[in-house]
Structure 1
C-alpha cells in the first residue's frame, strides 16, 4: 500500500474509489484519505454551463455530479458559491396598466421537517411574473417581508388576492385586499406556480432524500429558479 502523503505512515488501506474510478486510500494513523498521483481536473466552461442548466431540473446534486462527470466535493463548493451570489430581489418589466397580484405560501423544510421554512410568493396575474418572494416563518412578520419585497408600484397600486390566512389581513391594505377561496379561481396562477416549483426544485418535493441541509442554499436554489422562470417569460 502507498504511504500516507501527510504523516508518511505505511498503515494505509483501500477505501473505495473516487468519482472517476480511481482507487482511494485511507491512512489508519491520521485518517487522511488520498489517491496516488492525484491530478487536478480543470472544469471547463461547457461543463459549468451544463451544471447551471441541471440545477434548474429535478435532479439531486449526486445525480448532477454523475451526469457532468465532476466530483461531488467540487460541485458542492460550486453550488455554495453560485447560490451565495444569486440576487435576493426580483427584476420585473415596467407596467402601465392596472395591477393584480396573487399571493400564497408554500411549505418546505431545511435539514428536518421540524425546521419549517415557508416560501411566500406574489405573482402578477397578467404577466405571470413572480414579483415578490420571502422565505421564513408563517407569521405576520413574514407577510410583511413579502409585502416589502414587492416593487413599489405593486405596493402602491395592486389589487391582491390571497387565501384566508390571517397574516394577510394584518399586512395588506384593506381597500385592495381580496381574500378568496380556491373555488373562485382567483389564486389559480400562484397555486399552479407552486406546483411548478415543487416539480422543478427537488429540495421542495414533499418526500425526498435531496432536502436542503443549508438554509442559505435552500433560499439560493429557490431564488435561482425564480430568476430563470421570470426570464423565460420574456423569451
Structure 2
C-alpha cells in the first residue's frame, strides 16, 4: 500500500489552513483530489480528538460567543426536499472564544435552533474551570440555553445591535441578563474578529464561494484542522504567541508537522 510521505502531508495541511480549496490544493501539491480529501478526513478526525483532550479546565475571565453561517452542498432555498435533514443546506458554526487569550474554547456545527444553542453552551461550560463573564449577540436562543447550561454561575450579557429603517447600523444596546457583568467589557468584537479569521483561512466560509463543502462531515473536519492550527500553531499577531501558549496550555508552539503526525 502506498503511504503518503510526511512532507507531502504537511504541504497539503499548510495549503488547506491558508485558505486553499481542495482542488486548488490538489493542483499546487500535485496530488489527486482523493489524496487531499483523505488527508482532510484523517487529520481532521485527529484534530477533533486533540481539541477535545487539550481544551479542558480552562481558566478564563471573559468569553464571547457567536454563530457564523455557511452551507453544505447547496443553500437552504435551493435544497431538494428529499435532501433536507441529511446535512445538506444551511449550517451554522457556533464559536466560543476567550477574549483575553484569544483561545477558541468550543465550536459546534449544527443548526441555529434552541437545541443546538443548548448543546453548544453546555460544551462551553464543561471546558471552563471558573465563573466567567459571557457576552453573546441578541439571538433569542441564548436566553434559555445559557441559564440551562450554567445555572446561576454566570455573569451574562447580550450586545444587541441596532439598525435604522434603511438597515444602517446606528449603535448597540448592552443588556444584562444574569449576574453582574462589567458593562465596560460587554462586547463581541473578539469573536466577530474570529469569524473573519475563519473566512480568511477556510475557503468554505468565504462569501459567494464556489469552494463550499459537499459533505457536512468534511465541513467539520476542515474546521477541526483550522481551530487546532489557530490555537496551537499560528502565532497571534497581537499576542506574539499562540492562544494556547497565552492560556498556559502549552509552553511552545506546535508546528505543521505535529498536526500531520497526530494521526499516528
Q: Shorter chain as normaliser: what TM range?
A: 0.7 to 0.9
Q: Which residue of 1 aligns with 2:222?
A: 221
Q: Where in structure 2 are the equivalents of 1:1-235 lying within 5 Å?
A: 43-87=4-48, 89-90=51-52, 91-92=54-55, 95=58, 99-114=61-76, 115-150=89-124, 152=126, 154=128, 157-173=131-147, 176-182=155-161, 183=171, 186-231=187-232, 232=234, 233=242, 234=245, 235=253
Q: Decide whether aligned partners of structure 1 residues 42 and 223 sit closer, same or farther in structure 2, where only a CA change above 3 A counts.
A: closer
Partners of 2:24 and 2:120 in 1: how far apart?
33
**Contact between 1:92 and 1:129, CA under 8 Å: does it hold in 2?**
no
Q: Deviations over 1:34-53 (max 9, x none)?
A: xxxxxx97632211111111
Q: Shift of the alpha carbon at 1:87?
A: 1.4
Conserved? CA contact 2:104–2:227, under 8 Å: yes
Q: Which runs of 5+ in 2 are unaligned?
A: 77-88, 162-170, 173-185, 235-241, 246-252, 254-264
Q: Secondary structure at the match of 2:17?
A: coil
Contact 1:84-1:216 at 8 Å conserved across structures:
no
Size of the aligned set, in residue pairs, is 195
> Secondary structure at 1:108's aligned position in 2?
strand
**TM-score w.r.t. structure 1 length?**
0.75
Q: CA deviation at 1:191?
A: 0.3
How big is each residue's C-alpha offset from its partner over 1:63-107, in whole Å with a ceiling of 9 and x where there is no partner? 1111111122222233233323331544337655x6210010000
SS at match of 2:19: coil
User: Larger relative CO (CA 8 A, sep 6+): 1 or 2?
Assistant: 2
Q: Report what 2:165 is aligned to.
A: none
Residues 175-201 of structure 1, C-alpha deviations (whole Å, 9 max, x = no match): 521011355671000000001101110
Give the RMSD, CA atoms, in angstroms.
Answer: 2.3
CA distance in 2, matches of 1:213, 1:129: 28
Return the TM-score normalized by structure 2.
0.67
Change (3 A) 1:81 1:152: closer
Contact 2:45 2:224 in 1 (8 A): no
When Rg is computed on C-alpha atoms for both structures, the one with the higher figure is 1
Instruction: Identify unmatched segments of 5+ residues in structure 1.
Output: 1-39
Sort the Cα spacing of 1:180 and 1:210 in 2 relative to 1 into closer, same or farther, 3 A.
same
CA contact (8 A) 1:84 1:217 kept: no
